[in-house]
Amino acid sequence: MGGKLKAFFKFLIVAAIVGGFSLRIYRNFVPEGAEFKAYALESEEGPVFPQVGTRPELKVRFERTGDTKGGNYHSWVVYDDWIWGKKVVAQGFSSHKVYKQEEPFPLKWMPNGVSIEVKFMNKAIGGALETKMYEVIPVDG
């Protein structure tokens, strides 16, 4: 009985390690908070906000289907953690001019150094700009 139990625990440990590596590899391509198809297959790179001091680099991606809908573009602001992989820290709709980079992506860091302010359109088609705050770096409290 002891040999079977020992083998079972070895199997569980190996399965956990393989599962952890698999999730990390997946998160390298599709961030937590984004759907696989929309992010990995139907999106393209946008502007990059470089690392400044303790603030991490943030990358923007746009879903290309905004063209086919004749509306705004679903956008993700992504943070890449070297241990846990990519994570969506903000998402919403960007206008055609922001997508074409005729206007800058409306993101700014807040003075606290852990939050960003992003202006997204409030609807997929039409709509008005709406300002939202997002926490990028978790604050222990």
Decide which of 66 and 83 is more confident.
83
pLDDT at 118: 94
Q: What average pLDDT does range 53-69 have in this prediction?
A: 82
Q: What average pLDDT does range 28-45 have in this prediction?
A: 89
Domain boundaries, the chain: 31-135
Q: What average pLDDT does range 82-95 have in this prediction?
A: 90
pLDDT at 135: 85
Report the distance separating Cα 97 and Cα 132, nearest Å: 19
pLDDT at 140: 47
Q: What is the pLDDT of residues 6-27, one digit of tens each?
A: 889 899 999 999 988 888 888 8
How high is the mean pLDDT of the chain?
Answer: 86
Q: Which residues contact 40 (CB under 8 A, 6 or more apart)?
A: 29, 30
Report the distance separating Cα 115 and Cα 139, nearest Å: 10
Whole-number percent of the chain with pLDDT over 70: 93
Q: Whole-model pTM above 0.75?
A: yes
Residue 16, helix vs strand vs coil? helix
**What are the E-state strand segments in the chain?**
43-49, 58-63, 73-81, 85-94, 107-109, 115-121, 129-135
CB distance 121 to 72 below 8 Å: yes
Indicate whether 75 pLDDT > 60.
yes
